[in-house]
Each structure stands twice: as C-alpha cells, then as structure tokens.
C-alpha cells in the first residue's frame, strides 16, 4: 500500500507541476487541481495510514491508540480540501473573466509572437 | 510568573479577530449601493481595532509575560491557542493603523468601482490579525488562506484587463505557495506529531538524528511558502506587477500583506532555530541572509530601472522585505536583540512609508501622462475591453464595473505644493535620510550589528556586506525618487491636478504616524527592542506550554506531553 500511495502522490504532483507550467489557463487550473490532490494524499500519508483502523474513537471505556488511525491528518485534509476547492472555484471565475476581457486563454493575456 | 497568565480569560485578545469578521459579515446583508453606510461601519471597525490593539500593546508591555488565549478552553498542545507577545501586538496595531488611511482613501471614489470592497477589506484585516495572533501552524495556514482569498477579490477590485491579467498570475502563484505551505505543515506534523508552535519549539532540540533532516526539509518548504508571500528574489516577480495593477487603497494595504510573510518567517525561524536551539540552531540563517540581500540588490536595480511611481513603490516594497528577511537571517546567526530591535523599527516605518507611496502615486501622476496620446489610447482600449466584457455579461459574476458618482468632491487648494511636500517627506523616509524614521531604523540595525559584535570578536565580513547593501539600496531609492520628483514637480505645469481632501488626508495620517515614530523614537525603540528580546530569549514556548485551561473543574485531565527538560 505504501508503494501505491507513494506512486499515486508522485504521479499526481508530477503531472500537476507539468500542467501548471503550461501556457493555457485551463491547463494551469487542471495542474493546480492535480497538485492539490497530490498534496492532500501526501498529508494523509504522513499520518502513517493503517488499513482498517477507524480514526474516531469510541466514547467510553479503554482506548488502545494503536488500534486507531491518527485523526489529525484527516482533519487537516478535510480543511485543505475545502480551502483548495473554494480558491480553485474563485480562480475559475477569474480565468473566465480573463478570457472575456483579453480575448485569449493564454496566461499572459496575449499570444506570444512567433 | 505563570500565576498572572492563569488569572482570567483575556477575552480582549480575540477582539482583533471578531471585530473585522463581524463588521465584514454584517455588511454583506446590505446592498452594495449603501456604500457610505458600509464605509461608516468599516471606519468604526478599524477604529475599534486600533483601540483594542492599543490596549493589547499596553498589556503586552506591562510585564515580560505573554498573553495566551485558549480557544474553546482546550489544554495547550491539543487545542488552538492565540498568543500575544510584543511583536504580535505591534503587528496588530500596525494593521489597524495602515487600514485607516486605505479605507479613507477608498472613500474618495474607489469604493464604488466594484462590489463588496468593504466586506473584503474587513476579511483581509481578519486574516492578517489572525495570522499575527495564532500559535498553531495549521491555523496559520487557515488565516493565510482567509487573507489571500480576500486579497484575490481586492486585487481584482475596479476591474479592467490589466487587473485581471495581474490577478490571474497573483492567484496562481499564491495557490501554489499555499500547497507548499501544506506540504511543509504535513512534514512537520509527520516528524513531530504536533502543530503547536510552542510545543514544536520545545521538541526541536530533542529530535533524533534520523528525524532532524526531515524536519529541516519540512521547515524549508514551509519557509518557501512564506518567502513567496514576502516576495524574496527569485520568487518576487509577481509583486511589482500585482501591486501596480491593484487600485491604490488595495495596494496600500497589500504593502502590509507581504510583511505577514516576513512576520511568519521571523516568528517560526526564531522559535524553531533560535541560537540556543540545539543542533538545529541557526538553520536557514545563511540562506535567508543571502537571498534577502539578493532581493535588496534586485529591488535597488529595479527602482532605478522602471518608470512610474507605482512600479517604483513595488520595488521599494521588495527592498523593504529583503532587508527584513536578511535581518532575520542575521538574527538567526546570532545578530543579537539590538539589531533585531532596529529591524522591527524599520519594519513599521518602511511599511507605513511604502503604503503612503502607493496612496500618493495616483495623485502625483494624475494629469501627468508623459504621452497623453498613448494614455488616451490605452484608456480607450481598456474601456472597449470592459464594454466587450460586460456584453458577455461578466457583471453578474461581480467583475463588472459599478460607477460611483456620489463621492464628495472637495478639491484641495494649492494641491501640487502639498502633494510635492508630502512626496519629498516620503522620499526622505524611504531613502533613510537622517532626521526621519527610516534612518533611525537603519541606524539602529547597523549599530546593533557592529556594536554588538565588537565586544567579543571582530565584525564578520558578511555583516559589512549587509551594511553596504543596506545603504546602497537606500541610496538607489533616493536617486530614483529624486529623479522622479524633479521630473514631476520642477516643471511648468499647465493643468493643475484636482486633488480631493479625502485623498490627501490618508497620506497625511501616515506621515503623521512616521513623524510620531521619529519624535517619540525612544519609546518606539524601547518597544521594538523589548519585542526583539522577547523573540530571542525563548520564553514564548515555556510560557505557552505552562498555560492551563481556565476552569479546573470543567477541564479534562491534563495530558500534555512532558517534553521540556
């Protein structure tokens, strides 16, 4: 599982970075999305994930911490997802506005002269 | 010592967060055309923030202790804490003081050139105050995002193709920086298992040799996010472009926003890698110093090279950020509290002056287009683009322009003389000419650096390089602004610009603040010196970790880990 998780993060971040550096705004926003997926998985990964262990503990009685997953990274991921979703939505609006105002989808607002 | 922290919940400490949040949210209930009501509400909020920050500064100054506020009354390493020390109290006060002129300037017309200006402005203040007060790195991320989200809206305020183009870059860069922030936070959590700044500070000296490199990587990536915000070369190219494109009141408050990045570096670097911090002591110091100085050189070259006052102001903001980051590097390498105290004094002074320069820019350049035809053509192009955009109905998305004709138009007599005088005073502050605040800050930095080192050993060569770059950049600013001022004010001008009292008053307020900093320099310097002492002596961590929940009967068992020896 560790290998699959690491590969998934690597592929997401790698393709996200490549797209981020492309000249079209749509590619940039897709790149940012992929990057944020990769980062979210990464946060999840640093919490030392275990298979089949719940993050929420029972209310009463003896609690054995080793039988549970670390809940903090999951809470962090949840917050990060919400924030990156909101900011990406905002970026999308600006992207559309830029398309409308400049008439091109190049990130610089004008086509590069050949 | 700890007893007085335990006394009562310091509810005043959360007021700098609640005031702008409530004011900004309340404004959303009303139609955007009632902007004078919103302006009044914003003014009340900023004044209340100023009063609270004055009170907080008094509390932070009355003894050597810090104030800690437990959100939700959770025990310390588990819950999020707000921590007030002299540095954060000073920064909150600076926020309130810079917000007032920007708000007044916006009332002269800019508030009507887009939607929800006042709400976004209050949310920006909320985010900045939160970033200054929080004691938890993930909470710091959240406040950064609040601040950035508001700033995205504000940068686009006023619409126009140039703003949208610059805003697109600004948002993309900051989203990427935020992702780095998350990676850094995740790595630090993975190594240490905590996000509390105070607990981290206590854990760092006790990391094993296997964990330490990973922690350093996490801290370095986190630092990348902050120096992107602070605009350190080579991550700084977005700043002059964005700040030039933004409307003047927005640029004026954004001048402080880049200092939030500086603050975060200063706070976290001195908590994690303080000179007494064990094997990690001084980590990152040489890098911060080198790249800080590179930023100063880049800014100095830029301010000489570019046209237009706003672009020059952007490069001066770079110099200011670079100076502070370099000073942080020096402090990490053992520069001493006197140098750091001077740097904090410089921080307040230079931020106020850069902010004022952004406000005065439009007045100075008004009716002074070097090439009127060119300007007219550009304006027509912009208007055509906006019209085309509105045809496509961008208006409902909040990006259409809303015209505002109800601003009070009280023109100022003798306008050019006043503007010229204010500009000259600002140039003197920014260049660091003797009687002004800019000089005092720089002089205190240099004297702390050289005077502190000479007691034990000789001054290291890198300190001389820093001093040289500091004065050379000041000289470049002086040269650039003098050249600009001569070309602008010492020529025969046919059409005198019409300048409103509402526009000149904010600049006068900022200059009055700078004058106060000069006249009461001993008190201001005492404050910054004690703030620097507080940062360097490392009492922050112990004090925060010693705080217990308020009501012992209702509080759960204390399960904080015992980490400090």
pLDDT 10s digits, A68-87 = 788 888 889 999 999 988 98
What is d(CA B3, CA B546) in angstroms, rounded to the nearest whole number?
10
Q: What is the CATH number of the domain that holds A27?
A: 1.10.287
| Averaged confidence pLDDT in chain B | 81
pLDDT tops 70 at residue B381: no
Q: How many domains does chain A have?
A: 1
3 state SS of B282: coil
Q: Is the predicted pLDDT of residue B555 greater than 60, yes or no?
A: no
Share of chain B above pLDDT 90, in %: 29
Nearest to B397 among A36, A48, A97 (CB): A97
Helix (H, G, I), strand (E, B) or coil at B70: strand
From B92-101, B129-138, B276-285, the region with the lowest mean pLDDT: B276-285
pTM for the structure as a whole: 0.87
Q: Which residues of A touch B168 (CB under 8 A)?
A: 25, 94-95, 98, 107, 109
**Domain assignment of residue A79, yes or no:** yes
> Quick one: pLDDT at residue B11?
79
A101 touches chain B (CB under 8 A): yes
Cβ–Cβ < 8 Å for B333, B285: yes
Is residue A55 a part of any domain in this protein?
no
pLDDT, tens digit, for every residue of B32-79? 778 888 888 889 999 999 988 888 887 655 555 577 888 877 888 888
pLDDT in tens, B419-469: 888 888 888 888 888 778 888 888 888 888 887 655 556 677 888 888 899
ipTM of this complex prediction, to 2 decimal places: 0.92
Indicate yes or no: CB of B148 within 8 angstroms of CB of A87.
Answer: yes
- B379, exposed or middle or buried, with CB in 10 Å at 0-12, 13-18, 19+? exposed
In degrees, to the nearest 5, what angle opens at C-alpha B31 toward C-alphas B157 and B125?
50
Question: Mean of the pLDDT values across residues A16-44?
Answer: 92
Query: Is residue A80 included in any domain, yes or no?
Result: yes
Residue in B175, B187, B392 nearest the CB of A100: B392
Short-list B356, B244, B314, B316, CA closest to B474: B316
Tell me, yes or no, whether A56 lies in a domain: no
Cα–Cα distance for residue pair B353/B98, rounded to 1 Å: 10
Residues B228-241 pLDDT 10s: 999 998 888 889 88
Structural domain boundaries enclosing A42: 2-49+68-102
Which stretch of DSSP H or E encloses residue B67? strand B67-70
Distance CA B399, CA B292 (A): 37
Chain B residues touching chain A at CB-CB below 8 Å? 138, 142, 145, 148-149, 152-153, 156, 160-161, 164-165, 167-169, 171-172, 175-176, 178-179, 182-183, 185-187, 189-190, 195, 385-386, 388-389, 392, 394, 397, 399
A88 within some domain: yes
Q: Give the confidence band of B400 by pLDDT, cuts at 50, 70, 90.
A: very low
Mean pLDDT score of chain A, rounded to an integer?
86
Quick one: tokens of B207?
């990391």
Interface test with B, best of A46, A78, A79, A104 (most B CBs within 10 A): A46
Instruction: Give the three-state DSSP class for A24.
Output: strand
> Is it the case that residue B557 has pLDDT exceeding 50?
no
**Look-up of token digits 């100054």:** B61
Assigned domain for A12 exists: yes
pLDDT for B318 equals 93
Task: For residue A54, tell me if it sits in a domain.
Answer: no
Query: HSE of A60 in the Cβ direction (CA atoms, 13 Å)?
Result: 0
Q: Flag whether A81 is in a domain.
A: yes
What mean pLDDT do residues B468-478 have?
90
């Amino acid at each position: 599982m560790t290998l699959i998780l690491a590969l998934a993060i690597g592929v997401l971040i790698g393709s996200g970075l490549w797209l981020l550096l492309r000249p079209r705004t749509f590619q940039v926003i897709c790149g940012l999305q992929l990057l944020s997926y990769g980062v979210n998985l990464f946060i999840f990964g640093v919490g030392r994930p275990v298979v089949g262990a719940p993050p929420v503990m029972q209310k009463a009685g003896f609690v054995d911490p080793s039988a549970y997953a670390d809940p903090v990274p999951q809470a962090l991921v949840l917050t990060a997802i919400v924030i990156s979703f909101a900011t990406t939505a905002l970026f999308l609006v600006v992207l559309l506005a830029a398309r409308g105002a400049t008439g091109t989808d190049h990130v610089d607002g004008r086509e590069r002269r050949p | 010592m700890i007893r007085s922290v335990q006394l009562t919940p310091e509810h005043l400490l959360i007021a700098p967060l609640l005031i702008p949040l409530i004011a900004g949210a309340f404004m959303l209930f009303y139609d955007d055309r009632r902007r004078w009501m919103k302006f009044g509400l914003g003014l009340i909020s900023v004044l209340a923030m100023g009063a609270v920050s004055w009170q907080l500064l008094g509390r932070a100054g009355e003894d050597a202790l810090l104030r800690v506020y437990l959100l939700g009354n959770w025990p310390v390493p588990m819950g999020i804490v707000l921590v007030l020390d002299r540095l954060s109290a000073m920064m909150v006060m600076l926020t309130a003081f810079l917000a007032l002129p920007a708000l007044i300037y916006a009332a002269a017309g800019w508030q009507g050139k887009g939607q929800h200006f006042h709400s976004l402005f209050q949310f920006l203040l909320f985010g900045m105050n939160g970033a200054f007060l929080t004691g938890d790195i993930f909470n710091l991320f959240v406040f950064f995002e609040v601040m950035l989200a508001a700033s995205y809206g504000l940068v686009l305020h006023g619409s126009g193709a140039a703003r949208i183009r610059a805003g697109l870059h600004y948002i993309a860069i900051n989203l990427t920086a935020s992702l780095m922030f998350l990676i850094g936070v995740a790595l630090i959590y993975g190594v240490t298992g905590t996000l509390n700044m105070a607990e981290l500070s206590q854990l760092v000296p006790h990391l094993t040799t296997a964990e330490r490199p990973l922690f350093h990587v996490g801290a370095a990536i986190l630092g990348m996010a902050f120096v992107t915000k602070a605009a350190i070369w080579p991550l700084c190219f977005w700043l002059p472009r964005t700040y030039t494109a933004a409307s003047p009141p927005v640029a004026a408050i954004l001048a402080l926003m880049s200092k939030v990045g500086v603050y975060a570096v200063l706070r976290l670097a001195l908590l994690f890698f303080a000179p007494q911090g064990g094997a990690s002591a001084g980590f990152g110091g040489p890098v911060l110093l080198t790249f800080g100085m590179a930023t100063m050189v880049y800014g100095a070259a830029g301010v000489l090279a570019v046209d237009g006052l706003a672009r020059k102001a952007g490069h001066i903001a770079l110099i200011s950020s670079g100076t502070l980051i370099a000073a942080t590097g020096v402090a990490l390498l053992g520069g001493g509290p006197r140098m750091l105290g001077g740097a904090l004094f410089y921080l307040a002074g230079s931020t106020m002056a850069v902010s004022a320069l952004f406000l005065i820019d439009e007045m100075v350049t008004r009716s002074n287009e070097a090439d009127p035809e060119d300007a007219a053509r550009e304006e027509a192009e912009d208007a055509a683009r906006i019209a085309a955009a509105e045809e496509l109905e961008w208006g409902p998305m909040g990006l259409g322009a809303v015209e505002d004709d109800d601003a009070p138009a009280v023109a100022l007599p003798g306008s050019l003389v006043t503007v010229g005088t204010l500009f000259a005073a600002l140039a003197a502050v920014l260049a660091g000419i003797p009687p002004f605040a800019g000089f005092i800050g720089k002089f205190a930095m240099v004297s702390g650096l050289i005077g502190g080192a000479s007691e034990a050993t000789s001054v290291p060569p890198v300190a001389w390089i820093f001093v040289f770059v500091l004065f050379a950049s000041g000289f470049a600013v002086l040269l650039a602004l003098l050249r600009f001022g001569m070309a602008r004010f010492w020529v025969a001008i046919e059409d005198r610009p019409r300048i409103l009292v509402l526009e000149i008053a904010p600049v006068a307020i900022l200059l009055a603040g700078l004058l106060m900093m000069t006249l009461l320099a001993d008190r201001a310097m005492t404050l910054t010196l004690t703030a620097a002492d507080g940062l360097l002596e490392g009492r922050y961590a112990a004090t925060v970790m010693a705080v217990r929940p308020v009501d012992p009967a209702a509080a759960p068992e204390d399960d904080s880990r015992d980490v400090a020896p």
